[in-house]
Amino acid sequence: MERRWNIPVVDENKVDALQESLRINRTLCRILVSRGFDDYEKARLYFRPQLSQLHNPWLMKDMDKAVRRILAAFEKKEKILVFGDYDVDGTTSVACMYRFLCKIYEPALLDFYIPHRYREGYGVSKMGIDHAKDNGYTLIISLDCGIKSVDLVAYAKELGIDFIICDHHLPDAEIPKAVAILNPKQSDCSYPYKELCGCGVGFKLITALSEELGIDEEHYHCYLDLVAVAIAADIVPMTGENRVLAFYGLQKINSNPNPGIKALIFLGGIQKKLSINNVVFVIAPRVNAAGRMDDARKAVQMFIEEEYDKALAYAELLHNDNTERKEADKGITAEALELINANEALKNKKTTVVFKEHWHKGVVGIVASRLIETYYRPTVVLTKSGDIAAGSARSVPGFNLYEAIHACREYLLGYGGHFAAAGLSLLPENIQSFADKFEEVVTASIPPQLLIPEINIDAEISFKDITRNFYDIIGQMEPFGPENMRPVFVARKVLDTGYSKVVKEDHLRVVVKQDQYSFTGIGFNLAAKFPLLKKPANLVFTLDENEWNGSTSLQLKLIDIRSSEP
């Protein structure tokens, strides 16, 4: 699949000024300017984040009400239920809040609740509220969910149960009548940073409670490893407060992690310093697998466990769920690709809609993302759920998937989601009509360039500039994530040394040079591009380290290759 290369244009005067003050490689200065760090002070705080950069939690709308209600519950010896979603953000949020409250309140009056993905669905559930009522809870603190639960919060109120909502999802016009709603995305909330994840919002409530009660920072900064896991897994922008929290959370992960995180690191076989990338691809899938394949309550039990051996026992359950999830994901993806490849009409559409009754509903969202890697277009994967069809949809960057699904609502029983991802349900007999309408809506509204994958390239670079010092400075740009991705470079007119080859049928191992400077590199799934190396080529890559026989060298991690000739 050919891809669009996008290289930003930057103000060279700002690059000059920044290079003058920082005295580092010009290419790095160009990247910093393009990311908005265009003077010495901004660059200093970018490279050396400080916890003092975190905003005052009391700036968040309703923070005073939330703290007052919790302290009133303490006074009256009320039972408090900590309620959260079944994904990584939800389970880490619940673990942080529950552990903190157990430090400052009577554990016998506290419990946590995670809804079952299939019995209760996403977010606040009626079953959860009934559980609270039956067990004498009069205050629910919901984390990473609740902002859209208008009717359920009203139902809880009728039962004498108050809600404090900590959420980060976009509110609708009508918001629940909770005692307090902490969500910086509320239009009338003046909190300066809008991109916190659910665990981040919960952490701000913990911070405010600590300040009110005169509790030292060490008693809540100890949860920064869990906050960092949530930030990484929820794919929120790695900017502002998220970057500060993730920076210090990673330090804790690498020095003195939560026993549950330590157990997942062990099971993931990671023996070196963890990066955000490790968190996203090793820790997060195992936590998410609990809710996808079974019950996510055990993820919280793992995170709140103080003893490593007990945490490891829960981690092994998550690890097994993840193994099962990977097998299901692999099998269903292969079946779905077979369906598309066998049908010429399906192959040439601008959308993908596939359905099989036996597919596991816990992995259909992952499968939709996998299909986009081959057929780059808005994708819906459906399976049977009781008497209805239900599934997940994923978009390509830049296209509003939710609006497209909304336009097909006549064929749907229910739907919800956002710009890039959605869930939906419909009667099996309406699948074809929905697929036809979805194709019609997308074809009429998607700009053609959005159906071609884009590679965002940070800067052009010469091989002579790629040094150990250059690489070390890139390392100081961690943690990487949305809006602060690992820098991507293009090097032009690169020549093969004659030692490049295809390995394991699909991949490329290259040895290339530019002038007298040469580098090795690896290009996964780029074997088809091998013939381009017979002539001068332009290479797009990130920089990586290769360890071999006890020695370490820099290598190129190839993303794409094009001929240098027009």
Using one digit for the tens of pLDDT, what is the confidence trace for 462-481? 999 999 999 999 999 999 99
Instruction: Spell out the residues 6+ positions from residue 147 whose beta carbon is closer than 8 angstroms to its own.
Output: 165, 167, 169, 170, 171, 172, 175, 176, 181, 183
Kindly provide the residue ranges of all beta strands, DSSP E only, lying in 134-284, ordered along the sequence: 137-143, 162-166, 180-182
Give me the residues paired with residue 459 across strands. 489
Distance CA 276, CA 289 (A): 19
Which amino acid is residue 120, in one-letter code? E
- Residue 295, token pair as written in the block: 């019950």
pLDDT of residue 121: 81
pLDDT of residue 241: 98
Residues forming a β-bridge with 141: 82, 164
pLDDT, position 419:
86
pTM given for the model: 0.93
CA distance 90 to 288: 10
Crossing angle between the packed helical segments 88-104 and 297-304, to the nearest 10 degrees: 50
Mean pLDDT on 219-232 = 97
Q: Return d(Cα 476, Cα 469) in angstroms, integer.
A: 11
pLDDT for residue 548: 82
- Coil, helix or strand for 52? helix
Q: Is the peptide bond between 257 and the residue preceding it cis, with omega within 30 degrees of 0?
A: no
Nearest to 163 by CA among 196, 188, 150: 150
pLDDT exceeds cutoff 90 at 565: no
pLDDT on residue 168: 94
* pLDDT for residue 45 is more than 90: yes
Give the C-alpha distances (Å, rounded to integers) separating 8 from 33, 480, 537. Answer: 10, 19, 21
Tokens of 201: 């919002």
Quote the strand ranges of 85-212, DSSP E. 110-113, 137-143, 162-166, 180-182
- Other Cβ atoms closer than 10 A to 534: 11
- Amino acid letter, 58: W
Which pLDDT score is estimated for 122?
80
Bridge partners of 426? 389
Count of beta carbons in the 10 Å neighbourhood of residue 527: 16
The CA distance from 420 to 400, in Å, is 6
Note the pLDDT tens digit of each residue in 87-106. 999 999 999 999 999 999 99
Is the per-residue pLDDT at 166 higher than 90?
yes
Among residues 420, 367, 415, the alpha carbon closest in space to that of 394 is found at 420
Residue keyed to tokens 């903190």: 100
Q: How far apart are CA 129 and CA 263, in angstroms?
A: 32
Q: Which residue has the tokens 């916890």?
A: 51
SS3 364: helix
pLDDT per residue over 131-160, tens digit each? 999 999 999 999 999 999 999 999 999 999
Q: Which amino acid is at 166?
A: C
| Helical segments of 177-307, H only | 198-213, 218-221, 224-233, 240-255, 259-267, 276-278, 284-293, 297-304
Largest distance between two CA atoms of the chain: 78
Residue found under tokens 């499968």: 367
Burial class (CB in 10 A: 0-12, 13-18, 19+), 560: buried
Q: How many CB atoms lie within 10 A of CB 137?
A: 27
Instruction: Please provide the average confidence, as pLDDT, over all residues in the chain.
Output: 95
Looking at residue 123, its pLDDT comes to 86
What pLDDT, on a 0 to 100 scale, did the predictor assign at position 547?
85
Q: What is the arithmetic mean of pLDDT over 67-78?
A: 98
User: Is pLDDT of 1 > 80?
Assistant: no
**Coil/strand/helix, residue 112:** strand
The residues, ordered by sequence, that sit 6+ positions from 330 with a Cβ below 8 Å of its Cβ are none
For 150, the token pair is 């208008």
Pairwise CA distance, residues 72 & 81, whole Å: 15
User: Is the confidence at residue 202, as pLDDT, over 90?
Assistant: yes
Secondary structure letter of residue 484 according to DSSP: B
Query: First and final CA of the chain: distance in angstroms?
Result: 19
Question: Both tokens of residue 64?
Answer: 């005073």
Distances (CA, A) of 17 to 156, 461, 462: 58, 20, 22
Closest CA to 545 of 529, 535, 556, 532: 556
- Give percent above pLDDT 70 in the chain: 100
Mean pLDDT of 218-225: 97
Where helices occur in 37-87 by DSSP H, the ranges are 40-47, 63-76
Instruction: Quote the pLDDT of residue 376.
Output: 96
- pLDDT of 2 reads 82
Per DSSP, 279 falls in state I
Tokens of 258: 């939560």
What token pair was written down for 484?
């602060």
Q: Are 412 and 437 in contact (CB under 8 A)?
A: no
- Nearest residue to 385 (alpha-carbon basis) of 408, 407, 413: 413
| Rounded Cα–Cα distance for residues 132 and 110 (Å) | 11
**At residue 6, does pLDDT exceed 80?**
yes
Confidence of residue 73 (pLDDT cuts 50, 70, 90): very high
Tokens 């009754």 locate to 357
Phi (first) and psi of residue 505, to 5 degrees? 70, -40
Structure tokens at 33: 């300017």
Domains and CATH numbers, the chain: 4-48+457-563 (2.40.50.460), 57-319 (3.90.1640.30), 343-451 (3.10.310.30)
Question: Tell me, what's the pLDDT at 459?
Answer: 96
Q: How far is CA 92 from CA 357, 419, 513, in A?
A: 33, 24, 46
The model's pLDDT over 375-406, given as tens digits with 9 standing for 90+, comes to 999 999 999 989 999 999 999 999 999 999 99
Q: Angle at CA 543, nearest 5°, toward 503 and 478?
A: 135
- Using 50, 70 and 90 to split pLDDT, how confident is the model at 240? very high
For 295-324, the pLDDT digits (tens) are 999 999 999 999 999 999 999 999 999 999
**pLDDT tens-place string over residues 536-551:** 999 999 999 988 888 8
- Going by C-alpha positions, the residue among 433, 454, 484, 57 that lies closest to residue 232 is 484
